[in-house]
Amino acid sequence: MNCPSCNAPDLIETTSTYFIQLPERYVIVQNVPCRKCENCGEEFFDGAVTARIDRLLDTITTPAEEVAILDYETGK
């Protein structure tokens, strides 16, 4: 698969940190599997990974947290 951003053929399997801003907090998910372009640095997450991230976001129950840090591998 070529990079959708720069068309380089050099995508590597690695892990990344995923950041998202929700209305009431910021969420950081560590150790997320992704493909990363060695040329431009763009990161790509497949559908199964984004579905799991969505499920992890559903586990955040404490509204007082302004920043939540989750680990993709452990789900905590």
d(CA 67, CA 22): 10
Mean pLDDT value of segment 5-11? 93
pLDDT of res. 61: 72
In a domain, 26, yes or no: yes
Q: How many domains does the chain contain in total?
A: 1
Q: How far apart are CA 74 and CA 72, in angstroms?
A: 6
Residue 4 lies in a domain: no
Q: What domain range is 52 assigned to? A: 11-71
**CA 61/CA 73 separation, integer angstroms:** 19
**Range from 5-9, 50-54, 61-65, 68-72 carrying the lowest mean pLDDT:** 61-65
Question: Does residue 3 fall inside a structural domain?
Answer: no
Burial of 18 (0-12, 13-18, 19+ CB in 10 A): buried
Mean pLDDT, residues 50-69: 82
Residue 2 lies in a domain: no
User: What is the CATH classification number for the domain harbouring 21?
Assistant: 3.10.20
